[in-house]
Structures are given as C-alpha cells and as structure tokens.
Amino acid sequence: MSLLFDVIKTVKGKNIEKVTPITHSIRYNTCRKCEDMMVTGNCKICGCFVKDKTKYKQEKCPIGKW
C-alpha cells in the first residue's frame, strides 16, 4: 500500500520523504494506543490509513500526538 501512497503523493506534488524506522514505530505505536484508532487501522479523526501515514515526514497527527 505504501507504494500506492508514494505514487499518489508524487502526482499531487507532495514530498514522499520518509521518517526513520524508529520514528515510524514510535508514531505508529502512539496511534495504536489512541482512542481514535479504529479496528480497521484508520484514524477516526482524519480517516487516514495510519500505518502508511506515519511513514511520511510531512504528515502530522490531526490532534497533535506526533
């Protein structure tokens, strides 16, 4: 799925630079513990695919957790 996000971001002219694996793990684990994380793996607030969104440097948590 990450490749698809890279393509979509590139087409939209957005940066596809990724965070380090450690930073990704911290972000993802923060989201997994969040009360707004749905069983589907999406964020209840912004609807993103959390596992993919947490990989990109320019992305931010909609409620400021990372």
Q: Is the pLDDT score of 30 beyond 70?
A: yes
Q: Quote the pTM value.
A: 0.79
Name the residue with higher pLDDT: 15 or 40: 40
CA angle 43, 33, 23 (to 5 degrees): 85
pLDDT at position 8, please? 74
* Span 12-35, average pLDDT: 92
pLDDT at position 9, please? 72
Q: Is the pLDDT score of 1 beyond 70?
A: no
Q: Is the pLDDT score of 50 beyond 70?
A: yes
